[in-house]
Chain A
Amino acid sequence: MQDLKEVQRRIYPPMVEGDHTLATVTDKISDVPLKKKTPFHWFIGFGIAFMIAQMLMMTIIWLLAKGIGIWGTNQPVGWAFPIINFVWWIGIGHAGTLISAILLLLNQKWRTSINRFAEAMTLFAVACAGLYPVFHTGRPWLAYWLFPYPNTMSIWPQFRSPLVWDVFAVSTYATVSLLFWYVGLIPDLATLRDRAKNKYFKFVYAIFSWGWRGSARHWHRFELAYLILAGISTPLVLSVHSIVSLDFSVSQIPGWHATFFPPYFVGGAIYAGFAMVLILCIPLRHLYNMKDFITHTHLVYMGKVMMATGFIVGYSYLFEAFFGWYSASQYEWFMIKSRIWTGPYWYMYWLLLLCNVSAIQLLWFKRFRNSEVWLFIVSIFVSIGMWLERFVIIVGSIHHDFLPSSWGMYSPTVFDISMFVGTLGFFFTLIYLFVRFLPMISIFEVRTLLPEANVHGHQEDFEENVVEIEYTYDRTDPPNA
């Protein structure tokens, strides 16, 4: 019987470690937002992130005062840091939706304890991404011109342009991600409402939980709605980065005009997103002692997904180069040559290969895959690599286009950099606030992972199956061998 338990453990690693009951799961997760005393490390982390976020605010104020000329963006590179950072942030968001929607449809139990903060990460990453196109318009107070609305000028957006598709894709993505995240929060907010001692917090949690009382009829419709949302978020998440990639591939620029951009970008987005989930959850599980819920198995699985998507990205690099040659277009082939060895940004490409293709090879080995420190380091490399990828694609393609007379170089100014670093601060500020005020792990979904939640006794079913397998195995063995 001991062996049987071991076999079961290997096939189905437990998703919740330790001896937890419904009550301890609830208390452990909901104590973080309800506890009066905020841990000291929270103030340090939040303080640093908030200060960096102020840098973003100062940059934006200066940007509004002087105009986008304070950035290094200029002809011929008219689309530099703002779009690089936009694509980078949007890509990071994709892992959240993948975890919450696609892994739900595939019935992957391990998504349960990481989906809540992965979805929060999606929302905050999309918020950071949204800043760039809005401020890149130069007149953000007129950003509503992007939407079709009847106006006295009697003009409309031009729906044949991928940039308008992008407006629809990103705003839908932000809205649906918010809905998905919020719907999952309703039962947990009800838990917080019932456990809160502070009457103001109780009131706020009561308002936002809509009077949820856990009725069986409510759960029935809730689960249907959740499943449907997962079903429609799946094509959504795939379409969003595809449409972002069409911003490039619909144009004529060598290095952008490629039919395989949509899957290439979606793969890269999930790759970057899983790296960010790992960067967030490795420290979180230690700081808040959530190791029972975000187990070692979770980290290993995320590392494996990261590795798989990393190969999609590596494959795309290979074929990007191949298509440059196979197209027999002198402009395409020139672009590839300049990207890899003759151009001024060749070193960016090799750094990109180091971060995105070489670093993940470590994860082949159990030693690295099982080590949190190495997973964290590889994730940092991947995040940097995905940023470099967008730099190589965007700046690398437009600084040297068709006419040598219009070639030019690009270098970011201090405001480009302060805006990018500032959005990182903004992102982590929001993450810190989320961790302090809302349950970072979905409480009601973790409850369903406990053996107590098992009404039909699947445990026994499993053991019967294993015994059957052993029995057939014994029969094929020669007796007394």
Chain B
Amino acid sequence: MEKNLYGLLAEFDTAEQLVDAATKVRDAGYTKTDAFSPFPIHSIDEALGIKRSILPYLVFGGGILGLFSGVALQYFIHVIDFPIIVGGRPHMSIPAWIPPAYELTILFGAFTAVFGMLFLNGLPSPYHPVFNVPRFALATREKFFLVIETKDPEFDYEKTKGFMEGLDPQEVFDVEE
């Protein structure tokens, strides 16, 4: 039975209970854990020991790449490939290049932010073991869930189940793989 077990899932009624439980789970030494809530809870990051994402750095890189490609595109067109004088301006008329380069900076940054977020989150993931628990559908409505995976080095079915039941949840479910 333990072979195809993904982990144990506890259901809570309020965000406050979830944060308290997450803190206790972290203090008990569990690391392969996750919490699920219908809205973002700020204090859960600290409670679960979630580190700050590298996403902002990726977006910065994406923005710089956009800026660079905007300037490179215009340089290639107006200086290398098709140099032509228009309105008495020099080939390399940097002030006039600012708007397209600026817009491309934002465009690349926005794409990096969105697709970087989805990528780092491992989405799309149409299947996930927690979906096997029918009650989990309420995680997008009003209930709060906490999972401890079997992969966790501290995981021991009987002990962990007992521990989770001590966190005062509504119920503890077995999550099948």
**A in complex with B:** yes
A–B complex contacts, Cβ < 8 Å, 28 sampled: A26-B38, A26-B142, A157-B77, A159-B77, A159-B96, A168-B100, A169-B99, A172-B103, A172-B106, A175-B107, A179-B110, A180-B110, A183-B117, A191-B141, A194-B138, A195-B140, A213-B136, A214-B139, A214-B140, A216-B37, A216-B48, A232-B106, A235-B106, A236-B103, A239-B99, A239-B103, A444-B38, A447-B38
Asked if residues A444 and B73 are in contact (CB atoms below 8 Å), the reply is no
Residue on B nearest A243 in the bound complex, by CB? B99
Task: State which size class the interface on B falls in.
Answer: 35 or more
Within the assembled complex, what's the spacing in Å between the Cα atoms of A409 and B103?
37
Residue on A nearest B98 in the bound complex, by CB? A165
A167 to chain B, nearest CB (A): 9
Q: Which of B19, B40, B56, B114 contacts A219 (CB 8 A)?
A: B40
- Name the B residues within 8 Å of A23 (CB-CB): 141-142
Asked if residues A210 and B39 are in contact (CB atoms below 8 Å), the reply is no
Mark each residue of chain B from 13 to 35: 1 if its CB lies under 8 Å from any CB of chain A, else 0.
01110010010000000000011
Q: Which of B50, B63, B139 contacts A220 (CB 8 A)?
A: B50
Within the assembled complex, what's the spacing in Å between the Cα atoms of A160 and B42?
47
Mark each residue of chain A from 452 to 476: 1 if its CB lies under 8 Å from any CB of chain B, else 0.
1101100000000000000000000
Asked if residues B111 and A179 are in contact (CB atoms below 8 Å), the reply is yes
- Name the A residues within 8 Å of B42 (CB-CB): 455
A459 to chain B, nearest CB (A): 13
Q: Which of A187, A216, A221, A452 contacts B117 (CB 8 A)?
A: A221
Residues of A at under 8 Å CB distance from B?
21-23, 26-27, 148, 154-162, 164-165, 168-169, 172, 175-176, 179-180, 182-183, 187, 190-191, 193-195, 206-207, 210-225, 228-229, 232-233, 235-236, 239, 243, 246, 444-445, 447-448, 452-453, 455-456
Asked if residues B37 and A219 are in contact (CB atoms below 8 Å), the reply is yes
Q: Which of B37, B41, B82, B140 contacts A156 (CB 8 A)?
A: B82
- Name the A residues within 8 Å of B61 (CB-CB): none
Asked if residues A154 and B142 are in contact (CB atoms below 8 Å), the reply is no
- Name the A residues within 8 Å of B128 (CB-CB): 211, 213
Main secondary structure of the interface of A (DSSP, over half): helix
B104 interfacial by beta-carbon distance below 8 Å? yes
B43 interfacial by beta-carbon distance below 8 Å? yes
Asked if residues B141 and A455 are in contact (CB atoms below 8 Å), the reply is no
Asked if residues A222 and B117 are in contact (CB atoms below 8 Å), the reply is yes
Q: Closest 10 interchain pairs by CB? A: A225-B117, A22-B142, A165-B99, A210-B124, A219-B40, A211-B125, A194-B137, A216-B35, A160-B96, A447-B39
Asked if residues B140 and A216 are in contact (CB atoms below 8 Å), the reply is no
- Name the A residues within 8 Å of B161 (CB-CB): none
Asked if residues B56 and A195 are in contact (CB atoms below 8 Å), the reply is no
- Name the B residues within 8 Å of A190 (CB-CB): 140
- Name the B residues within 8 Å of A455 (CB-CB): 15-16, 19, 41-43
B36 interfacial by beta-carbon distance below 8 Å? yes
Asked if residues A175 and B86 are in contact (CB atoms below 8 Å), the reply is no
Q: Which of A155, A165, A179, A246 contacts B82 (CB 8 A)?
A: A155
- Name the A residues within 8 Å of B59 (CB-CB): 228, 232
Asked if residues B113 and A232 are in contact (CB atoms below 8 Å), the reply is yes
Within the assembled complex, what's the spacing in Å between the Cα atoms of A70 and B69?
41
B150 interfacial by beta-carbon distance below 8 Å? no
Given contacts A187-B39, A219-B37, 7 further A-B contacts (CB under 8 A): A154-B82, A159-B77, A172-B103, A211-B128, A212-B140, A225-B113, A453-B39
Asked if residues B100 and A216 are in contact (CB atoms below 8 Å), the reply is no
- Name the B residues within 8 Å of A159 (CB-CB): 74, 77-78, 96-97, 100
- Name the B residues within 8 Å of A453 (CB-CB): 15, 39, 41
B126 interfacial by beta-carbon distance below 8 Å? yes
B116 to chain A, nearest CB (A): 7
Residue on A nearest B53 in the bound complex, by CB? A221
Q: Which of A165, A191, A213, A228 contacts B131 (CB 8 A)?
A: A213
Within the assembled complex, what's the spacing in Å between the Cα atoms of A305 and B110?
27
Within the assembled complex, what's the spacing in Å between the Cα atoms of A155 and B82?
7
